Chains A and B, each alone.
Chain A
């Protein structure tokens, strides 16, 4: 129920009272950007170290994003006038063309944030075992099938995804899930393309079959600060991989359907904002459904697919009232990909030449 609202939120009031009591007579300087304020105001937080690390990362992202948007032909001019752009361009030579490098960096940053700030209840050994097992499984299959030793970047991305999502009381769950996920890439193949997103398959199999294993969909909380920066990181990764359409169409469709529900039920719009700020939703949109190898090749088909997965997730969450709607919807609707590829064929994605497709 909406009541008359003070323009200043309760938490902000609390924060102000706390400050004035601790520092009587002193005015508090506040940055203009509210989410940045949230990151910086809480000095007595558990780990200001991690927050500084994050701010550093955000700055690095902005620099990289600027670099990506500047057309190559104009780079030389910028060097003369803008020393910052010059440094960025020089650094740019060292920026790898493979989007997975960025993905790994961003997922690693999220893991760090999660472990330090969000109490993800993830044991470091679970992570180490997941990585060891995932990489070993990749090497094993390549050797067995007599293939070129590559694809380790994808394995790392999958292991990051599993560590971010899967929670377990036992040590053996993460490596087993990682091995299963990596093996699925070599075993479950349709039309010379692996069928399932390995992390998605690993998580679904683990939570349905293994004891003491679960996924905490609420673990990222719903504060918008986090949402903003995950959105930013995700945009960079998907732009580099030229598969931005899926993420944005999915987000648009999902949030559109949630908005429709809010309108139909006459709920408060605060619920929509609450869903928008859901870290798990943004992570899924930019790091899971965007995997170029497990989505349809043609743009039109990808858009249809994103709509269907979003509708499936909304149905799972609001009609069946079951948790983990996103990963279940993706898992159950993945078999549509080869069908869509058959009806609407398109160019195959290549990590080294992401512009094609």
Chain B
């Protein structure tokens, strides 16, 4: 993650998921939104919001630390010494909102009565593909260690120190003497950042201030700075990493989709028809699917789960964020706020047709990656592309019409089509999740298909 925990929480977030029944979408063909698979699903998934426009960046980090608060510590490399006013304690709800809004979603449709369709005019049939369209520390000691405490602040429940160091061993010793339980060998990971003249943002919980807040949890830390580097220092978080880790990045930009430049960014398979029984277990389906896809690419791909203009959604897993919520998430370029960067230097500000209609020029890219120290050797570098094509990890349920197979001349053909469609759904689910296709067929109560090749039939 973008930070290293002094002690890793022993309690993992319980595998929980809320299946909310949302309101019907305004758009007719997007179907009824029935569920989502949010970040809570992935144990210990770190969540970061990065709001960036030109060289201005606001990073928000969610702290889901579950242990003794006196043991919590955070070390983040930052490009400059941050002033107190550049550090802010945010509202944890913002992560919940942005997660809910961008989570992979499930939409469902109900087939129309095929007999009714039969009666409809043939010109209507021409419109039917539309209905089927699948719509993303002391001074002396410090000096001896080569560590300079550039600044100290207390912001909210956090005691923050901004350090600059000249030697990684000195920094490791300083942190240890100051009561931070830094894992052994951390100096090797700290060294590249020191040599790049980066400063270190070190935070721990001020228990007295924390008690005053009245919250039982830690609020997210936010910091704003200006830097040409559009990156996330994830390597430091791998010192004490055990096994694959999950990271969800919500990138908020003005003009277009955000992607990684030193790793491949790919879109998850989406807009796939799934068997209707997955309605109640979409969370498990999505988890298995993400694991299968990530493993298939050797954990070397950064997955795009969602990219959309924050003004709207279709179907909506949650309402779009309000301008206040967007500011809470670090968006600094909203109307009535900052003028566009470069506007004074004569460059044309980017004005989208949507912003002229009153919508906020805020794009959200949700990136999800599962990684191990081997598969992520270099910190994540990003770029904002000019891509504005919406994408969502959306999955579709199609409920067949429940009627008499002999109701009309169209009915038998309809049920034959449904059988073919259901077989396709079973195979799609098996391919996406790596589950056994026969078990899926059994759950769907559809007949098991004969083995397709002669050797499969021989050694079944």
| Residues of A bordering B, CB below 8 Å | 1-3, 5, 9-11, 14, 18, 42, 44-45, 118-119, 121, 167, 169, 207, 211-214, 216-223, 264-268, 270-271, 273-274, 278, 320-324
Docked CA distance A223–B297 (Å): 10
Contact call A1/B186, Cβ cutoff below 8 A:
yes
The count of chain B contact residues (Cβ–Cβ below 8 Å) is: 51
Select one of A1, A214, A322 contacting B387, CB under 8 A: A214
**Could you say which residues of chain A place their CB within 8 Å of the CB of B238?**
1, 3
Contact call A219/B264, Cβ cutoff below 8 A:
yes
Q: Please tell me if B84 contacts chain A, counting CB pairs below 8 Å.
A: no
Contact call A221/B263, Cβ cutoff below 8 A:
yes
B80 to chain A minimum Cβ distance, whole angstroms, is 14
Contact call A211/B386, Cβ cutoff below 8 A:
yes
**Could you say which residues of chain A place their CB within 8 Å of the CB of B26?**
none
A-facing residues in B382-406 (Cβ within 8 Å) = 383, 385-389
Docked CA distance A165–B244 (Å): 32
Known: A10-B244, A45-B296, A169-B387. A119 touches B266 (CB 8 A): yes
B237 to chain A minimum Cβ distance, whole angstroms, is 9
Contact call A321/B228, Cβ cutoff below 8 A:
yes
Known: A1-B185, A323-B261. A265 touches B192 (CB 8 A): yes
Q: Please tell me if B235 contacts chain A, counting CB pairs below 8 Å.
A: yes
**Could you say which residues of chain A place their CB within 8 Å of the CB of B196?**
265
Known: A169-B387, A216-B265, A221-B301. A1 touches B188 (CB 8 A): yes
Select one of B239, B263, B298 contacting A11, CB under 8 A: B298
**Could you say which residues of chain A place their CB within 8 Å of the CB of B439?**
none
Contact call A218/B261, Cβ cutoff below 8 A:
yes
Known: A2-B188, A214-B386, A274-B262. A321 touches B230 (CB 8 A): yes
For A280, the closest partner residue in chain B by CB is B261
Known: A1-B189, A212-B388, A266-B195. A218 touches B259 (CB 8 A): yes
Q: Please tell me if B267 contacts chain A, counting CB pairs below 8 Å.
A: yes
**Could you say which residues of chain A place their CB within 8 Å of the CB of B231?**
321
A84 to chain B minimum Cβ distance, whole angstroms, is 32
B456 to chain A minimum Cβ distance, whole angstroms, is 13
Known: A1-B373, A14-B295, A212-B388. A221 touches B264 (CB 8 A): yes
**Could you say which residues of chain B place their CB within 8 Å of the CB of A220?**
264
Known: A1-B189, A11-B298, A274-B262. A216 touches B385 (CB 8 A): yes
**Could you say which residues of chain A place their CB within 8 Å of the CB of B192?**
265-267
A-facing residues in B341-355 (Cβ within 8 Å) = none
22 sample A-B contacts, Cβ–Cβ < 8 Å, listed by A number: A1-B189, A1-B238, A1-B373, A2-B373, A3-B238, A3-B373, A11-B298, A14-B295, A167-B387, A212-B386, A212-B387, A212-B388, A214-B256, A214-B385, A214-B387, A217-B262, A218-B262, A218-B265, A222-B264, A266-B191, A321-B231, A323-B381
Q: Please tell me if B138 contacts chain A, counting CB pairs below 8 Å.
A: no
**Could you say which residues of chain A place their CB within 8 Å of the CB of B388?**
169, 212
Known: A1-B188, A14-B295, A167-B385. A223 touches B300 (CB 8 A): yes
**Could you say which residues of chain B place their CB within 8 Å of the CB of A1?**
185-186, 188-189, 235-236, 238-239, 373
For A216, the closest partner residue in chain B by CB is B259
For B193, the closest partner residue in chain A by CB is A265
In the complex, the 4 A-B pairs of residues with the closest C-beta atoms, listed nearest first: A270-B377, A214-B385, A1-B189, A221-B264
**Could you say which residues of chain B place their CB within 8 Å of the CB of A169?**
386-389
Contact call A11/B299, Cβ cutoff below 8 A:
yes
**Could you say which residues of chain A place their CB within 8 Å of the CB of B236?**
1
**Could you say which residues of chain B place their CB within 8 Å of the CB of A167?**
385, 387
Binary interface encoding of chain B residues 140-181 relative to chain A, with 1 for a CB under 8 A from any of its CBs, else 0? 000000000000000000000000000010000000000000
Q: Please tell me if B63 contacts chain A, counting CB pairs below 8 Å.
A: no
Q: Please tell me if B378 contacts chain A, counting CB pairs below 8 Å.
A: yes
Binary interface encoding of chain B residues 210-241 relative to chain A, with 1 for a CB under 8 A from any of its CBs, else 0? 00000000000000000111110001101101
Q: Please tell me if B372 contacts chain A, counting CB pairs below 8 Å.
A: yes
For A278, the closest partner residue in chain B by CB is B262
Q: Apart from A2-B373, A119-B266, A271-B377, what 6 extra A-B contacts exist at CB < 8 Å?
A: A14-B295, A118-B264, A169-B387, A169-B388, A216-B259, A321-B381
Docked CA distance A278–B381 (Å): 14
A146 to chain B minimum Cβ distance, whole angstroms, is 40
Q: Please tell me if B260 contacts chain A, counting CB pairs below 8 Å.
A: yes
A-facing residues in B190-204 (Cβ within 8 Å) = 191-192, 195-196
A114 to chain B minimum Cβ distance, whole angstroms, is 11
**Could you say which residues of chain B place their CB within 8 Å of the CB of A268?**
377
**Could you say which residues of chain A place their CB within 8 Å of the CB of B241?**
3
Select one of B228, B264, B378, B386 contacting A271, CB under 8 A: B378
Docked CA distance A264–B195 (Å): 8
Docked CA distance A177–B388 (Å): 19
Contact call A217/B261, Cβ cutoff below 8 A:
yes
**Could you say which residues of chain A place their CB within 8 Å of the CB of B301?**
221
**Could you say which residues of chain B place their CB within 8 Å of the CB of A222?**
262-264, 300
B342 to chain A minimum Cβ distance, whole angstroms, is 14
Q: Please tell me if B374 contacts chain A, counting CB pairs below 8 Å.
A: yes
**Could you say which residues of chain B place their CB within 8 Å of the CB of A44?**
296, 431, 434
